A and B are shown apart, each in its own frame.
Chain A
Amino acid sequence: MRWWLPDAGSTFAGPIDTLFLAILIITGIALAVVEVGLVTFVIKYRARPGRKAFYTHGSTRAEVIWTAIPAVTMVALGLISNHYWVLIKDKKSIPPNAYHVGVHAKQFEWQVTYPGPDGKLGTSDDFTVRNQLHVTVNEPIAVELTSEDVIHSFFVPEFRLKQDAVPGMHIMAWFQATKTGEFELGCAELCGMGHYKMRARVFVHTPDQYKAWVAQQAAGGSE
């Protein structure tokens, strides 16, 4: 049984999870104030014979306080969030040495195109594999997302990575995996009856493992 976010698998997970926790604490405090307040009032101010309610139309001071505190909190949250948002999603944030991989989404599969032994995407030694994403650990990977037909969404929970693939658009997303292993990729935008079956496996290799895999694929192997 899993009670929390998936295990961290990319450099994005640290900031995102920390931000998540911070928001959880802030909203948790707000929730506690409201719910405890509610329960306290329900018990303390229940009607009893001989009691009368306190006749007041409000308090400007209270309004100012409970407007200012949420407003300041929200602005601060926005500024911090935006810093990481730009880092993750801005095209200029993609490291120039990132390893490019093409992901073409289609009802109902992920066609992943690799640059092949020459390391350049868009040349004749590129090869395409269905439903398997192979990358090297600790290396920035740039994903060039396209779609054949409808909107799909590229989602790897451990990488905290999600980006819609839109027909007619060529969208870049990037990440850097921090641990080797096998993970899963799912489609996160309803794309038809097979939406739930658009699953791919993600393999994070050491550099040597990855080179070996590329060589094997280029030789025509399929294991």
Chain B
Amino acid sequence: MTAVAHTPTTAHHEPMSFWRKYIFSTDHKIIGIQFLFVSLFFLLVGGLLAMQIRWQLGFPGKPLPGGGILPETMVVNGVILPEYYVQLVSMHGTFMVFFAIMPLLVGVYANFLIPLKIGAHDMAFPRINMASFWLALLAGLVMTASFFVPNGPIRSGWTNYAPLAARPDLSGVTVGQMLWCVSIVVLGLSSVLGSLNYITTVINHRAPGMTWFRMPLSVWALFITAILGVLALPVLQGAAIMLLFDNVLGTHFFDPVAGGQALLWQHLFWFFGHPEVYILILPAMGMVSDIIANGSRKPIFGYHSMVFAIIGIAFLGWIVWGHHMFMSGMNPTLGSTFMVSTLLIAVPSAIKVFNWLGTMWRGNLRFHVPMLNAIGFVSMFTIGGLSGIFMAATPVDIPLHDTQFIVAHIHYVLFGGSLFALFAAITYWYPKMFGRMMSHRIGKVHFWLTFVFYNMTFFPMHIIGMGGQMRRIYDPTIYDFLKPQQPLNVFISYSAFALFAVQVLFAFNFLWSLKFGKKAPQNPWDDNGMEWSLPNPAPHGNWERTPNVYRGPYEFSAPEAGDKDFLPQFVKLPTDRDPVPAPLPATH
């Protein structure tokens, strides 16, 4: 590989100031790293909120340890107040969905990986890319500010259903609701700008030889996710603006008091919301595909099927939103149609799971930390996906809707799925980001402990949901029929505390390795992606000259590789010919 200067420079090779290099950077890699630090912080915030929720559910009415530091509007004599409890569940969901998982998957990895993996120097619009990060950070700060305003943050769930969310006199929330709406609109703008970049870059900036069907599945997934984002986020923005107007301008979009429609919010929110949950899983699936192929030393099984499955999931994802509304009072016939589309979306997901299994079948499995987490993803996403079938069957949704069964499902796909995929991805591309390796030993201990405590926390929620425990209730023991299940709530809470505590290992590993991790070799995982042709960390502008691509992304154990069990996309064999350069030059 050509030697590249280690000091990141501009295209004109002038040294950059610290501010231009690391803070107001237009380099997609720095922007990805900025998203990483900010999002991991919000992941921590979301986790702290969850700990308080579990405290109240496990030990209703008992004083919260350390609760004394919280104001009297939230906690009285250490006891969490009901209004604070519903704020906790609302903001846990809001922070985790919008400011942790989505930016971790998209803000970090779409930014970091796409140009590297397709052989581009940077994104199509580097300055818009920078704006996308700063808007996301601003949105996060606005959302955080809602904790510090009179009456505090929203109390209507992360789904923020109207009319409760539209009526301060009924919710008790004033400024906090406005901040939620403003934050969402700003975050939506950040997402849309990011998506525009990802889509344009993938279409126009692929290096010569990087045909569509030679792109790694991580890039396919991120590309399709970007299309989902650019179409879905504006719907949420519109709904949030309407909700803001109901709150401050005296409109009644969602309040039947003066001609509005309560269900309108749900239709708008879930028309965004369902594509959103595919935004939250597809990039994870894509990256897991790359990692499993690597760990198995085998090509991905059924690459084309995998691509069509991603597209199928994304397409079907637009016509299932009503499955969140089976009990809402909408016409039951609509329920039937949404049931059909929802059951069908299980099929491409199943295809993916079987193909991951097929990839591991007859492989030569290396259990590095990313592979462990990727296998964990497959096993737990399967549980999460299968639990969805219960809710998709509308009669069975009747007892299960709005119970802890749904909460179990959500967390199996978002934590068991997306977050494990993120543990894998963060570890896998850490050397490319920071030039060092995370500790294998700590990574393995973290994986196993997390896997065990994770299942102990979330599997029992299926059972208490079947038993009828509703969502977002402050004290289950109010109900006689829930009292017998309270021991499970206690068990879940203890498991959750342990699960949270174990994440200290990951945080330590991440932070400590920045300075003291083993210096990374250029291609530590013996991987095939274009990014591994560059030094660690990769320099500004990536390649001095646009690289050529000679083959598909998963040529592990190919006969042409000879002794080695991998054959990168950028390696030119004597039998290879240089690809014809693309019509549009892929340089800036």
Contacts and interface: CB of A to CB of B under 8 A. Distances in A.
Interface of A: 1-6, 12, 15-16, 19-20, 23-24, 26-27, 30-31, 34-35, 37-38, 41-42, 45-48, 51-59, 62-63, 66-67, 70-71, 74-75, 77-78, 81-82, 84-86, 88-91, 107, 149-151, 153, 155, 157-158, 160-169, 171, 183-184, 186-197, 199
Nearest to B487: A1
Which of B170, B402, B475, B484 lies at the interface centre, i.e. has the most chain A CB atoms within 10 A of its CB? B402
A150 B401 CA distance: 18
A102 to B, nearest CB: 16
Contacts of A66: 350-351, 354
Given A41-B361, A51-B364, A62-B358, A16 B398 contact: yes
Q: Which of A30, A34, A163, A199 has the most CB of B within 10 A?
A: A34
B477 to A, nearest CB: 10
B327 A164 contact: yes
Contact of B339 (A4, A63, A85, A88): A85
A193 B463 contact: no
Contact of B565 (A41, A53, A189): A53
Contact of A31 (B361, B386, B474): B386
Given A27-B386, A41-B365, A160-B398, A192 B565 contact: no
Interface centre among B302, B344, B488 (most CB of A within 10 A): B302
7 contacts: A20-B390, A26-B389, A31-B382, A58-B305, A77-B393, A188-B402, A195-B473
Contacts of B157: 190
A196 B261 contact: no
B445 to A, nearest CB: 18
Given A2-B467, A19-B395, A85-B336, A56 B375 contact: no
Nearest to B172: A193
Contacts of B344: 71, 74
Interface in B159-213: 161, 163-164, 167, 170-172
A165 to B, nearest CB: 8
Contacts of A161: 398
Contact of B365 (A19, A42, A158, A188): A42
B256 A153 contact: no
A23 B157 CA distance: 29
A41 B360 contact: yes
Top 5 A-B residue pairs of the complex, sorted by shortest distance between their CB atoms:
A168-B256, A157-B468, A54-B362, A58-B302, A196-B473
A84 B395 contact: yes
A179 to B, nearest CB: 15
Contacts of A186: 468, 470, 473, 479
The size bracket of the interface on B is 35 or more
A86 B336 contact: yes
A151 B262 contact: yes
A166 B347 contact: no
Interface of B: 81-83, 86, 155-157, 161, 163-164, 167, 170-172, 255-257, 260-263, 296-305, 327-329, 332, 335-336, 339-340, 343-344, 346-347, 350-351, 353-355, 357-358, 360-367, 375, 378-379, 382-383, 386-387, 389-390, 393-396, 398-399, 401-403, 463, 466-468, 470-476, 478-481, 484-485, 487-488, 556-559, 565
Contacts of B255: 167
Given A27-B387, A192-B171, 9 more contacts: A23-B390, A38-B375, A53-B556, A53-B557, A54-B362, A58-B304, A78-B343, A88-B395, A193-B172
Contacts of B468: 6, 155, 157, 186
B399 A45 contact: no
B347 A81 contact: no
A39 to B, nearest CB: 9
B363 A16 contact: no
B346 A23 contact: no
A85 to B, nearest CB: 4
A115 to B, nearest CB: 23
B343 to A, nearest CB: 4
A199 B478 CA distance: 8
> What is the interface of chain B mostly: helix, strand, loop, or mixed?
helix
Nearest to A76: B343
Contact of B86 (A19, A160, A190): A190
Contact of A189 (B402, B466, B467): B402
Contacts of A27: 386-387, 389-390
A150 B82 contact: no
Contacts of A194: 82
A54 B361 CA distance: 8
Given A81-B394, A190-B86, A190-B157, A34 B357 contact: yes
Contacts of B395: 12, 15-16, 19, 81, 84-85, 88
A168 B396 contact: no
Given A23-B389, A81-B339, A192-B155, A171 B467 contact: no
Contacts of A15: 395
A160 B399 contact: yes
A37 B359 CA distance: 12
A118 B215 CA distance: 74
A183 B479 CA distance: 10
A58 B355 CA distance: 8
Contacts of A90: 332
Contacts of B360: 38, 41-42, 45
B365 A45 contact: yes
A38 B476 CA distance: 37
B336 A57 contact: no
B357 A38 contact: yes
